[in-house]
Amino acid sequence: MIFKTNCEIVGAKMFEGNIEGVAYDSTTLFVKTELDESRDTARGFATTEYKYGTSAEFAKIKDRKFPFLAECEIELTTTGRKDSKRMISMHPLARPVAPGGGAVGGALGGAGVVAGPAK
């Protein structure tokens, strides 16, 4: 299942290298996510990690001011036992996030489409 949603991207990291002879090249995005308040045991927000292609995707956003708002496509799949999620595309929106949350007016320098990783 693939769905589109607006996300607040609060961070990103990349890794490119070898571990025990296995090559790795990845980007992870950290997305602000509401905590489940239905049981009255949590309040506020946490971050959820989404894999997002290779380190080339990180290079496209590393100079942006974080956090920023983006339109995201997320793919959810399951093996029947384990669910997994993956960011398919991410397009920064034209308004930055103000300190403390919420969008503010004004354009982001260098705002534009960040192409998603190839499938």
3-state secondary structure of 27: strand
The answer to whether position 114 is within a domain reads no
| Segment 76-119, tens digit of pLDDT | 999 999 999 999 999 999 766 666 665 544 333 333 344 455 44
pTM above 0.85, yes or no: no
The residues, ordered by sequence, that sit 6+ positions from 84 with a Cβ below 8 Å of its Cβ are 76, 77, 78
Q: Indicate whether 51 belongs to any domain.
A: yes
For residue 66, what are the domain limits?
2-35+43-96
In a domain, residue 77? The reply is: yes
Query: What are 1-39's pLDDT values in tens digits?
Result: 999 999 999 999 999 999 999 999 999 999 999 999 999
Q: CATH number of the domain at 23, please.
A: 2.40.50
**pLDDT value of residue 84:** 93
Look at residue 69 and tell me if it is in a domain. Answer: yes
The answer to whether residue 75 scores a pLDDT higher than 70 is: yes
The pLDDT value recorded for residue 98 is 65
Average pLDDT, stretch 52-57? 96
Structural domains in the chain (count): 1
pLDDT at residue 115, rounded to an integer: 46
